[in-house]
Structure 1
Amino acid sequence: MTITAALVLYAVIWFMVLFIVLPMRLTTQGESGEVVEGTPKSAPENPDLKRKAKIVTLVSTVLFVIIAGIIISGVITVRDLDWFGRMGPPSQTLAD
């Protein structure tokens, strides 16, 4: 795995985890009863982004280490995911 591939993998994992964590424990302005003028009732009262960013970074780092370890070790390869047999036989130069 190249450095660029690792960075892209980490960024994808980080943003996926972010979008999962963002709505957790979210209180809207409509639920709290204090709607700021010019904002919708569904706007968050206190998004607490700093705490959520720390959680996302911690979870993403753990997931990245696991996924990168699987990719680097070769336990699961691209050919293992070829369920329909579209890749063809492996070339001899890669097997040597």
Structure 2
Amino acid sequence: MSLVGGIVVFCIVWMVVLFTVLPWGVRPQGEQEGEIEPGTVESAPVHPRIWTKFAMTTLITILIFVIIYTVIDLELIDFRAYFQGT
């Protein structure tokens, strides 16, 4: 896998993992006891912890990328032969 190909695969996997991690632990303001912050809707999250989710996304993506890279580098699956039809 080339450097550019690796970066592209990492970015695509990172975005997919981010969208699966984003809803983890989200509590809307309407479910919490207390006042809703002025200027926001009641479905807005109370503590989104976005930096924690970015860190979790990056760690999970690194693990998945290592697996993908290993499969491609060791040629466990011959993708070239598959797409050439032989």
The reply to whether TM is greater than 0.5 is yes
What is the match of residue 70 of structure 1?
71
In the TM superposition, what is the alpha-carbon distance from 1:27 to its structure 2 partner?
0.6
What is the match of residue 17 of structure 1?
17
One-letter code of the match for 2:12? V
* Correspondences of 1:16-95 after superposition (within 5 Å): 16-33=16-33, 34-78=35-79, 79-80=81-82, 87-89=84-86
In the TM superposition, what is the alpha-carbon distance from 1:55 to its structure 2 partner?
0.9
Unaligned runs of 5+ in 1: 90-96
In the TM superposition, what is the alpha-carbon distance from 1:50 to its structure 2 partner?
1.2
CA distance in structure 2 between the partners assigned to 1:59 and 1:39 by the alignment: 32
Judged with a 3 Å threshold, the aligned counterparts in structure 2 of structure 1 residues 7 and 38 are, in CA distance, closer, same or farther, namely same
Regions of 4+ moved over 6 Å: none
Q: Deviations over 1:25-83 (max 9, x none)?
A: 11111111432233222111110011111111111101100111101211113344x6x
Aligned positions, number: 84
CA distance in structure 2 between the partners assigned to 1:42 and 1:73 by the alignment: 47
When Rg is computed on C-alpha atoms for both structures, the one with the higher figure is 1
Q: Identity of paired residues, percent? A: 35
Unaligned runs of 5+ in 2: none
One-letter code of the match for 2:4? T
CA distance in structure 2 between the partners assigned to 1:88 and 1:55 by the alignment: 39
Q: CA RMSD in A?
A: 1.6
| Structure with the larger RCO, 1 or 2 (CA within 8 Å, 6+ apart) | 2
